[in-house]
Structures are given as C-alpha cells and as structure tokens.
Amino acid sequence: MRTLITWCALALAAVVSAAPAKECAHKVKESIPPPRLWVKERPAPKDLTIELRIALPQPNFFELERHLYEVSDPFHERYGQHLSKEEVEALVTPHPESIHSVNEWLASHGLTESALTRSPANDWVRVKVPISLAEKMLDTEYHVWRHTKDDNYIVRTTSYSLPENLHEHIDLVQPTTLFSTLRGMDTTFRFSQDTPAPLSADAPPINIPSASGGKVDASCNTTITISCIQQLYNAVGFKPSGKNGNQIGITGYLEQFANIADLQSFYADQRPDALNSSFKFISVKGGLNNQSIEEAGAEANLDVQFAFGLTHPIPGTFYSTAGRPPFKPDVLTPTNTNEPYTDWLDFVLSHPNPPQSISTSYADDEQTVPESFAKRACNGFAQLGARGVSLMFSSGDGGVGDGDSDPATQQCFTNDGRNKTQFVPLFPPACPFVTSVGGTVHVPETAVFFSGGGFSNLVGVYILSFVSQFLNKLPKGTYAGLFNPKGRAIPDVAAQADFFRIFLSGRIISIGGTSAASPTFAGIVALLNDARLSKKLPSLGFLNPLLYAIGANFPKGFNDITIGNNPGCGTPGFNATKGWDPVTGLGTPNFGVLKDIVTGPLARF
C-alpha cells in the first residue's frame, strides 16, 4: 500500500490557539485476509458514491453497560428503571477532543458540517463521498468483489489506514472490511406453494400438560396457526389492552414488503376479530411500501402476520429499511453500503418511543463481521435495551453451520485465511445484548433440525452457569476445536419454526425457519409487556438476565426441549438436552406461567 501524507489536526488545545496544522502519516487501522469465497474482480469505479460511517469512541460505554445489567436484573433494586433516550445518549457521547479531531480531518478533505450526518449522541458521523475521495482519506484501494458461491457483488477493501493521531479518536470506518451480506432466515428449502393438508376434524387432541387446558389440536402437529401458538404456549384467553402504550415492531430488509391484502386474508382465516386493522409503516432511509400483490415478501408476510396476529390489538409497526445488497456493478447505487440493519439501528435510536418488543429475521455469518464493527453494533443494541426495548433475532437456519460450507464435504471453514474447519454462528444473534431465538417443530415439540446454535468466536460468555452445565455434560473432546467453549452461547430460547400457514400473493402457503420462531417469541414478549403495563409496571427491556433467572428459579416458565439436534458442517451438531442447550436454549415459553412471574414475584416497581 502506498504511503500517503495528509494534513491532520493537532491536539485540541493547539487547534484552539490557531497553531498551524502539521503533516501526519497514515497508519493501518484495520486489515483482514482476503475473505473466503470472495474474489477480487476489478477496481471499484472512482465515481461510485458510498456513504462512509465513522464511529467515534464511546468512553463511558462501560457505565451504560452497568446501568443496562442493573435495570435488567430482576433481583437488583433498580430492576425496570430504564434509562431515557437522553440519559443513554449522554453515556455514549464521545469526548469533545474526538469530535473536534474528526471534524478537522474531514474538513481537510473539503467535508464541512453541511455534508455530514450525525447520530444524536455524536458517536457516529456519516458522509457520502466518491470512491476516489474515500481511497484518499483511508489510504486504500476499493475493488469490486464477487462471491463465487452465489455470484453476488460487493465493493470493499481488505485494509484501510487513518492518520496516526486519529486512531484514538476513531473506532472504525465502514464500509471497508465488512463483507457481510445480510440475508433473511426463512428456510426456503422448506417453502411450499401447496396448501397444507389438514388432519381429519375428528382427530383427537394431543395431550400437552403445559398447554392451555392441557391439550393441543392434532392439526397443530403439521400446520401452525395463531390458535396453535396460543394453545401450545398457554396463552388462550389472554386479551391484551392495546391502549396502555404497548407496541410491537418488525424489521424488514432486502425489499421484503409486508402486503396488507395478504394480512387481511390471514386475519379472515385465523384472526377474524382483527379484520380491517393494519400496522404502522415506517420507511427508513427510503425503504419502500410496495403493495403490489406480486411483490409481497414471504419473509415480511410471515413476520407480520404471526407477530401482529398473535398480539392484536397491540399496535404494530413494520420498518422497511432501504438498501438491497449486494452491489450490482452495472447499477451505481449511491446509498448501497450493505449495512441496512445498522441504518435501522441509527434510525430507531433517534426516536423517543420505539416499540418495546422488536423482532428481526435477518443475519449473516459472524466471521464476515469485523470485531470492531460487531462491538459497535452490539453497543447500539445495548442502548435500546437500556431504554426498555426487547430485541429478538432468529438464531439461523443452518444448524451449527450457517456459514459458507463446502458443497462436496459440507464442512465449514474459517474466513481468516487459514481455512480452518470450524462451526459458524451468526451475527447479530451472537450479540450479548439481544435475545437469540432457535426453533422447534411438531407437537409434542422437538428441536427442528435447522435451528441455528453454537458459540460465538467474537463475544465472551456472560451466562456462565447454564453454559458450563451443558459443556460439562458433553463427552470430553466432542467437536474439539470446532467451537469456542468460552464464547457467547446461542440461542437463548426457542419457539415453533416450521409449517406456518400464511398468505403470500393471495395464496395459502406453508413456510418455516427460525424467522417464524423470532416473531412468535416477540409476540409472547409483547403479551407479557401488555400484562405488565396494564399493572403500571415498566416493560421488560433487555430480556436475557430475566430469562436465565427464570430458568434457574422458575423452570416451569419454559418448556424444556430434550429431543433433536442441529446438524451442520458435516456433523450431527449439538443435541437438545435437559436444561439449556445450543439448539433450543432454555426452551419454549409458557406464557401463563411467565405472566404470573413477571407480574408477581419478579415484577418490581
């Protein structure tokens, strides 16, 4: 890489005294090996516009994290005392010196305040620049890269530099080394255009002691409806208020549109009391709301129909975030940075009253996400948790091998140049500040074979007792070297994940995936929030400390799943076992028991 000399700012005191600037050499900020399965095609077009996202350090984040765990721990005296938007922003605001130094650097490249977009806490700065200027600023060269497996294209670099004195004032700049290509978690190999064949009407119900009335309709063994979820998870008869300030949200990406006509057909089929109701649509960075019946999205329809059908009349919001990765070399799309979920995160953090329960059914291989970027994205999720928002993410649909596996051997390899065989977890589900939702199937429930699960290679353990109990039961040497036993373990919980009956483009179809499990669990959380808010209690917020406290002290709050496994990477994967496991987490929810717990012994305030 060439050595570039540029103007860089002096320390703040010197700048204030109007001392002259001095030259400062660039130093590599981040560098990665050429990513596996991506090949460099050609130099990126110099006039292509990209939006650089510059992260300034959050020197007091450790204090925010302390607040987060205190207000989320049901045994702490501060439980439920969530922070305000302003209080959170004050805890992530960079030092003035960092803001000033970055401003000086940007100004030296002709980028003045009018060209910049800042987050409310000033911890992110965004600016649109041509590739030619980005290369000069970052002392790098961008190229068009092609993915050899799916023929997708992306514009990235494998290394970038910053003036040496800016390293302490900038955590990261993207898009640079982030080769993630966000994807939906619907299991398209389970997708069927055919209407599921119902069981005979006189088939006897299935005895499930934890279910509402102790029984579940036999048809739920092959076709999942709203009624099945209510029966199976002991929620029959609960009627949410819909007027106590409670909300539920669904995120949409990749031009997945939630079709209102299909929603009405779904309501007529499964939730007739919700007919003629709809959801609030919010566009993020130009996200569209295409209501053409031909453009209805399977992912979006699945998420919206079950999340909002389960929780009616709780107000629902569907966020449509623009940006459909990957970059197409023949269409120079200036806003395509391939980081749409962080665009959504920026947006929702800027709003004072986001929904208290939000589900996302999109993720990507953790190993395609630089550690610096993963940390900052997680920090954003933590900010929402501290404000009382529960975030659910699908754990993945590839078992222990959600990454790129070799088609011949089905083995999974690291993306760090070593091509080491290793299980591949997903991000953001592996972030410690979100709740990862795995999948089950059938009645009685067993783990569905595609349920994503395992251990993060970026984030450490924070639920030690449950993880250690599982690891202690593993035969010594099992999958040695294939996973990180000290990593953040996923999933946290599970829910039904296959044979969901939805409407798509006017037709009934059957669909599955942990993208069905996440909105389902988010719906249960929204019902729990409704019970709390109706008693003047705060929302649940960041769930994981509460979930594991319930698992340890009130085990009947979850239906423990002990049958099944999640194969991947040429292995059988992990087994579902008694207690927590990296297939179904703590298990599936028993709403009736959980409601009594969160409004009773663990209510607080």
Residues labelled as active-site residues: 299, 303, 515
- Residue 545: enclosing H or E segment and its boundaries? helix 544-553
Cβ neighbours of residue 114 closer than 8 Å, sequence gap 6 or more: none
Whole-number Å distance between alpha carbons of 448 and 364:
20
173: helix, strand or coil: strand
Whole-number Å distance between alpha carbons of 148 and 180:
14
Q: Is residue 561 part of an annotated ligand binding site?
A: yes
Contact (CB, 8 A) for 434 and 391: yes
Q: Which amino acid is at 216?
A: V
Whole-number Å distance between alpha carbons of 484 and 455:
6
Contact (CB, 8 A) for 553 and 400: no
Would you tell me how many other CB atoms lie within 10 Å of the CB of residue 37? 18
**Sequence-ordered alpha helix ranges (H) in 324-483:** 340-349, 371-386, 464-473
**Sequence-ordered alpha helix ranges (H) in 295-370:** 298-311, 340-349
Tokens of 132: 């030619």
Q: Is residue 579 part of an annotated ligand binding site?
A: yes
Q: Is residue 248 part of an annotated ligand binding site?
A: no
Would you tell me how many other CB atoms lie within 10 Å of the CB of residue 483? 23
Phi then psi dihedrals of residue 477, to 5 deg: 90, -5
| 544-553 helix and 591-598 helix, angle to the nearest 10 degrees | 100
Measured over the CA atoms of residue 403, residue 404, residue 407 and residue 412, the dihedral's sign is: negative
Contact (CB, 8 A) for 379 and 56: no
Tokens of 482: 């294939």
| Annotated binding residues for Ca(2+) | 560-561, 579, 581
| Annotated binding residues | 560-561, 579, 581
